[in-house]
Amino acid sequence: MSKASSTVATTDNEAAKPKVAVVVFLLNGKKVLLGRRRSAVGNSTFALPGGNLEFGENFEECAAREVKEETGLEIGATELLTVTNNLFVEGPKPLHYVTIFLRSSLTNTDQVPQNVEPEKCDGWDWYDWDNLPQPLFWPLEKMVNSGFNPFPA
């Protein structure tokens, strides 16, 4: 049995099931929207808006719902950028997330992000892609360090 499968075999049934997260690179010029997490996983790190895919939702619906729930912002059309496979084995309970990364922009550039879920986030702000705040949430940090760029070529 491989290390990964032995890790899964020793967890409870719910933790052993991968979950799907949809996150959004919400772009505004050369800036991206990030919030500081308040969570058992990645606490105090900067992350993109997003969350769990709900039963029956497509990726675009999930992205629009999550961005609205977390920031109060309305987003335009989305574009699939990449998918990552993330194992969080160091937290209180192991988690496995397949993360769908989308790109979008605001439907109206006069909108201002609000901290709609203060129990989950310390607040949202726009950051220059070339000068991101630290520390970044691990999956995002991994992408940035790989040279990934969410901006259209």
On whether the pTM is more than 0.85, the answer is yes
CATH dotted code for 18-145: 3.90.79.10
pLDDT tens by residue, 83-134 = 999 888 776 778 899 999 999 999 999 999 999 999 999 999 999 999 999 9
CA distance 67 to 16: 27
CA distance 73 to 111: 7
Domain ranges of the chain: 18-145
pLDDT tens by residue, 62-86 = 999 999 999 999 999 999 999 999 8
Q: Is 77 helix (H, G, I), strand (E, B) or coil?
A: coil
Nearest CA-CA partner of 28 in 49, 12, 42: 49
